[in-house]
Amino acid sequence: MATAFSPANISCIFRPYEDSDPKKTGSLGVGFTVNKGVTVSVSKAPLHHLLFNYHNVDMPTVESVLDMLTHEGIYVSIESELPLGVGFGLSGACALATAYAVNDLLKLRKSNHELAMIAHVAEVNNKTGLGDVCGQFNGGFQMKTKIGHPLVSERKEIDVKTIYCDIFSALETKSVLSNTLLKEKIMNAGELAVMKIAEKKKLSFKELCRLSNEFAESSGLLSPEAHHAIMTSNANTAMMMLGNAIYSDSPKGMKNPITLQLSQQGAHLL
């Protein structure tokens, strides 16, 4: 058996870009990793078998990673304190941690960069994400500014350590990334937001939330629940991308706050 961990990634602002080569497709933007994520244990098996918190699960992105790495059957057990489909980038985390663990189990001798690219390509091909793997590979609060280099980011400092999240409902990433008109609005809004952040030498959490909320509104992604929470909050609060959920520097007013710590550590073997 081999085991790996990948942090969850909260995306604040993103601007998609496409290429005929999935290795050059991705997103610009800003996001950060946290101390919770997914722990993936793998072992050899007659056929691929995936479990998420001890329940059978269909995860095409993880299946794609397995198919790109081996023809052998692999038993994959994923454990997480965080839910799927709400903006924590868990599809990318599961893909990346699976890649690291399978590489170790089968002694494939691939570099971490190669494994991260395999996880990223799986995300792109399955339309489950564009930039989470970059964050999870590198770790920390990051900004991505290089089109065509989806695993390259610049680590930045920010004046917050503890993050609180509140979830309203799931949001399928594929439904957003498959919507051509919505994606065009996201690109325009994201490009403006990334330009504004790139101009700043230092970025406060308050400013990050303000620019994130401008992006969420102008992109058409801002949900009624997130909008209400942001408008009634006395804290610095913004919507998680992509998920019908919010992140903040205070749990005040949240119904079911999840407490997380900003983490500098990327995916790794356990």
Predicted confidence at residue 175, as pLDDT, reads: 74
Q: Cα separation of 173 and 163, whole Å?
A: 22
Q: Which of 15, 100, 39, 36 is nearest to 66 (CA)?
A: 100
Number of H helices, E strands in the chain: 8, 12
pLDDT of the chain, 270 residues: tens digit per residue:
999 999 999 999 999 999 999 999 999 999 999 999 999 999 999 999 999 999 999 999 999 999 999 999 999 999 999 999 899 999 999 999 999 999 999 999 999 999 999 999 999 999 999 999 999 999 999 999 899 999 999 998 899 999 999 999 887 777 777 777 888 889 899 999 998 988 887 889 999 999 999 999 999 999 999 999 999 998 999 999 988 999 999 999 899 999 999 999 999 999
- Domains in the chain, please, with CATH? 1-270 (3.30.230.120)
In this predicted structure, what is the pLDDT of residue 199? 83
CA-based nearest residue to 31, from 7, 9, 47, 48: 9
Tokens 């089109």, located at residue: 147
**196: which 2 tokens?**
């504004």
Residue 94 token pair: 């599961």
pLDDT of residue 270: 98
- With CA atoms as reference, report the closest residue to 164 among 37, 31, 257, 252: 257
